[in-house]
Amino acid sequence: MVYEYRREGSAVGVGDRECFALPPAFGSAGMAVYYFDFREGDELVVDEEGMELIGIGAAQNEAARSLAGIAWDAMRSDGAQAQEMAVEVRDVHGPVMEVKFEFVIKRTQ
């Protein structure tokens, strides 16, 4: 699967919804840039742009929303049986958190 992040005022498709991020020019004092790297198995997609947010709580919410949308898409695919994925959040100083999701589908029929 390939996932694409678009930032700076453009729509980001997550599942069946769209999210919008403001361009960096709209930032204000007290905000920090967080990067959301996506990991699926051994593959890592590095976020090189980042997103300016008010704090660690907002970064956690963004990581959870993004991961939920990506996981939803992955579980709906016909061949899905088991998968582990994570969003690794970092700031300019390094890693700040990991939001991880694992699912297993066991069909009985």
The per-residue pLDDT for 10 is 38
Work out the pLDDT band at 103, boundaries 50, 70, 90. Answer: confident
Record the pTM. 0.68
- For 41-100, the pLDDT digits (tens) are 889 999 999 999 999 999 999 999 999 998 888 878 776 677 889 999 999 999 999 999
- For 4-56, the pLDDT digits (tens) are 444 444 344 444 444 444 444 444 557 899 999 999 888 999 999 999 999 99
The per-residue pLDDT for 2 is 39
Domain boundaries defined on the chain: 11-104
Q: Could you give the C-alpha distances from 91 to 14, 36, 70, 76, in angstroms and in order?
A: 22, 9, 22, 32
Q: How many residues does the chain have?
A: 109
The per-residue pLDDT for 75 is 79
How far, in Å, CA of 51 to CA of 32, rounded?
Answer: 8
Phi and psi torsions of 85, nearest 5°: -145, 155
